Structure 1
Amino acid sequence: MDQDQAAPSPNLRRSRRLAAIALAMAVLAWLALMLAAKLLPEYAWLIHILMLSAEAGMVGGLADWYAITVLFRNPFGKMPIPKFLRDHTEIIPRNKARIAESMGRFVQENFLSPQVVERSLQQADLSLAAGRWLANPQNNRQVSDVIQQTVPKIFDFVGQEQIGRFIQSNSVQWVKNTRINHLASEMLRAVLENDFHQEVLQRGLDLAHGWMIHHPEQVRDLTRQLFKELGVWKLARGASWIGIDVQQRSIDSMIERVESMLADPEHPWRRKIEEAGQSLILQLADNHSAASMRLNQAKDALLDSPYVLNFISGAVVILCDAVKADLQKPDSGVAQNLRVAIQQVGENMVSNVAVRQLLNEKLSAVAVSLSGQYSEKVIRFISERIHEWDSSEMIDKIENEVGGDLHMIRVNGVVVGAFIGLILGIIRALVEIAL
């Protein structure tokens, strides 16, 4: 045990000194009054009143000294005393186990129980307080400064390559374990429902039309290659001998079809594309459909490619280097953007009641869940820690905290006892005079 822990606190020393002085004064007054009663018999009635007051003060001080002392230790030492007296000394050390259990239960019932946590969080709008704190420019600057100083040190300590391998192994494994067909289905649904596909299709048709018009030689080369792949090139070349340019007619037909699709938003081919998209949405929503299985197999095959894995690792390393280099600059763009983002988050939290309500519900659910899972462990830790305390250490801790007030009770015992003794002495004197 440290000397600082063993040394009594100034408040405790002062209270002990005052209690000792008060008791000593009561004893000295009692002795002096007994002597005065012998020397001044004509004032015996008054001296007996004062003597009773001194006796009562002395008894009160001694009784309170005994009551306070037995809380912490045995005032009789090794003296042979009756068992019923010995069993009611050293009350705190003897009941250390019960105190530990009671303190643990008190913390659980008043601070850590799910009901208390939930009720406390319902009364406090934590997200509003957090939003106001983040919206303060000084606070979000502090947060960004901490991040700006800490992240480069983390990169140096861990190493970009290790971070890259960690992200690669964990992210790749997570993606492998995730079926992406549902995600693809919902993304495609969002595209179709918001008519994004029409904009993409219109832009694609514009590009295709312009490319075919301005690159006729490349278009002819492409159609020639396509005819060869389809096995009709010889037939098309033979038709050209009799004046029929099948290749150019095919190109002109394609350009005409593209132009008609550009001009007509309700073109049958556009509808077919939408129908194909709707059909694909339904197929991707089914885990066992052929489209879903092909998509997930393609995803797994892509992630098994060493080229893809090396690309991911290299990209992470390059990104870490870039972020680190930027954060080390006094005018870091990343830090500036981070401050702006933090302030915007705080302002949005303050202004958006629905977001705050959602965050509070989530925080409350998490806190209640954690309190339910870990409150018993916290209580067990508190109880075990108190059990591990040395009895003398525990007594010193408690006495240093509350001993000052307890020893002031001794002073009160002397004063109150003397006052009661004085009242009783006056009453007795009045009775004797009356009789």
Structure 2
Amino acid sequence: MTTAEASTIPSLQRSKRFATIALIMAVVTWLVLMVVAKLIPEYVWLIHILMLGAEAGVVGGLADWYAITVLFRNPFGKMPIPKFMRDHTEIIPRNKARIAESMGRFVQENFLSPQVVEKSLQSTDLSLAIGQWLAKPENNAQVTQVIQQTVPKIFEFVGQEQIGRFIQNNSVQWVRNTQINTLASEMLRAVLENDFHQDVLQRGLDVAHEWVMSHPEETRQLTRTLFKELGVWKLAKGASWIGIDVQQRTIDSLVERVESMLADPQHPWRQKIEAMGQQLMLQLADDESSASQRLNSTKDALLDSPQVLNFISGAVVILCDAIKADLLKADSGIAHNLRVAIQQVGENIISNPAVRQLLNERLSGIAVNLSDQYSEKVIRFISERIHEWDSREMIDKIENEVGGDLHMIRVNGVVVGAFIGLVLGIIRALVDVAL
């Protein structure tokens, strides 16, 4: 027995008991009044009025009992009764199929139709509600906690090796089927148009300048190695015999170049780097260019390498282990960053009307498409479940939910019938007196 059934059954039993007591009281009152009419003939006119009220109460109670009973069962049992009366008993069990279809159609027309869904979402700022919910610390903490508890269990259930193989197979196939030159061209375009390359170059020059100035010995060692690789070390060493320090002059020249680039945003070398980036972007946008073909060939060669594939699988396993270990910690860094990110997403949604409008349009479109595609399946599912119900089970469910109110109608039938009977008795008495 479910909680709902357990809470409705006492109410149903109480209503049945009240209705039965009311009907019995009306019957007893009617019988008593008939006896009293014989014992006190001088007040027979008053007793007839009361008796008419009791009779009407009995009739009303019995009529409502019959009307409510035939909804669920046949009150006559195996008694021979006319066919037209038998055909109008057990109304709910007999019409179970029609009820199932009607309930399904009602849900579809009033809750799941694309028009209703779209109209409902148009009057609701769903993205604002989502943003406000995510922005609350207790809510984003709850979401983070669910993720923190669920992800390690998923890793344990599936296994890091299986995840690695799945990612390897699917990602490798996707990359193999993708001409990455176009992707690389678009990424380079985004970098150049937003001057990200200038920021990277500026930061790189700062780091290089600082390192050279703070590590003079290491810098000289690097230049010595460079000279040896170029085959000019002996010449540089020979020049030092006549007082020319080629190494230091090279270092000083390099530092001077770096400082000039740092000081001048329009430095020729910066512009040359910009031009090279623009040229490379245009070449990668062309599938037939040599740069695109070299990039795609290199990609295919890497994907055909067992070492690269093994590295991908191993990296995924290591990453999964690291994520799992971190999430299992009470002070998980991933969980903390995730909670902060969720809260920031909620706050950004709240503060950005344009984003909310876009999200509402997308969510509305998704909901309308889902309702259009799956409403029939939902309705069919509801109807099939109702069809599968046993008639006795269906009657119990409905009677447990609404039977209490239905049986209180029986009480009302007795009371209203008695009142109407009294009114009619008074009217008859007045007519008798008048005539």
Report % sequence identity: 76
Amino acid at match of 1:24: I
Alignment deviations for residues 275-300 of structure 1 (CA, whole Å, 9 cap, x no partner): 55434433433445554344333323
Distance 1:322 1:31, change over 3 A: same
Q: For residues 391 and 347 of structure 2, what CA distance do their matches in structure 1 show?
A: 53
The one-letter amino acid of 1:297's match is: S
Q: What amino acid maps onto 2:41 in structure 1?
A: P
Contact 1:133 1:139 in 2 (8 A): yes
Change (3 A) 1:8 1:318: closer
User: Structure 2 CA distance, aligned partners of 1:117 and 1:433?
Assistant: 67
Q: In structure 2, do the counterparts of structure 1 residues 418 and 287 end up closer, same or farther at CA, with 3 Å as the change threshold? A: farther
- Contact between 1:53 and 1:420, CA under 8 Å: does it hold in 2? yes
Residue 68 of structure 2 is matched in structure 1 by 68
Instruction: Please name the residue that 1:22 is paired with.
Output: 22
User: In the alignment, which residue of structure 2 is the partner of 1:350?
Assistant: 350
- The more displaced of 420-429 and 261-270 is 261-270
CA distance in 1, matches of 2:410, 2:306: 82
Change in CA separation of 1:365 and 1:13 when aligned onto 2, cut-off 3 Å: same
Query: CA contact under 8 A between 2:23 and 2:414: conserved in structure 1?
Result: yes
Alignment length (residue pairs): 408
**119-128 or 306-315: bigger deviation:** 119-128
Partners of 1:340 and 1:8 lie apart in 2 by 45
Superposed displacement of residue 361, structure 1 = 2.2
Deviation at 1:307, TM superposition (A): 1.1
Matches within 5 A, 1:357-376: 357-376=357-376
Aligned to 1:156: 156
- Name the amino acid aligned to 1:345: V
Say which is worse superposed, 139-148 or 363-372, in terms of deviation: 139-148
Q: 1:85 aligns to what? A: 85
In structure 2, the partner of 1:285 is 285
**Residue number in structure 2 paired with 1:56:** 56
Deviation per CA, 1:239-262: give whole Å up to 9, x if none. xxxxxxxxx9xx99xx89x95996
| Aligned counterparts of 2:266 and 2:133: Cα–Cα separation in 1 | 53
2:403 corresponds to which residue?
403
1:6 to 1:302, Cα distance in 2 relative to 1, 3 A: same
Aligned match of 1:170 = 170
Q: Which residue of 2 aligns with 1:304?
A: 304
Distance 1:7 1:393, change over 3 A: farther
1:63 offset after TM fit, Å? Answer: 0.8
Give 2:20's aligned amino acid. A
Q: For each residue in 1:334-375, what CA deviation from the matched residue of structure 2 results, as whole angstroms up to 9, or x when unmatched?
A: 222222222222222222222222222222222222112211
Length-normalised TM-score, structure 2: 0.83
Counterpart mapping for 1:177-188 below 5 A: 177-188=177-188
Distance 1:405 1:388 in 2: 26
Q: Distance in 2 between matches of 1:351 and 1:260?
A: 43
Partner residue of 1:103?
103
| Offset at residue 58 of structure 1 (A) | 0.9
Structure 2 equivalent of residue 392 of structure 1: 392
Question: Which residue identity does 1:314 align to in structure 2?
Answer: G
User: Matched residue of 2:88: which SS?
Assistant: coil
**1:408, CA displacement in angstroms?**
0.7
Task: Kindly report the root-mean-square deviation, in angstroms, between the aligned alpha carbons of the 2 structures.
Answer: 3.4
Q: Does 1:45 align with 2:45?
A: yes
Q: Check 1:142–1:159 CA distance in 2 against 1; reply closer, same or farther (3 A cut).
A: same
Deviation per residue, 1:42-64 (Å, 9 max, x gap): 22222221111111111111111
1:11 is displaced (CA, Å) by: 0.9
Aligned counterparts of 2:426 and 2:66: Cα–Cα separation in 1: 28
Q: Distance in 1 between matches of 2:291 and 2:324?
A: 42
How far does residue 433 in structure 1 lie from its aligned partner after superposition? 1.3
Q: Give the conservation status (yes or no) of the 8 Å contact 1:93–1:391.
A: yes
Cα separation, 1, equivalents of 2:118 and 2:179: 36
Gaps of 5+ in 1: 226-236, 238-247
Task: Determine if contact 1:8/1:396 at 8 Å carries over to the other structure.
Answer: no
Runs (5+) with no aligned partner, structure 2 = 213-217, 236-245
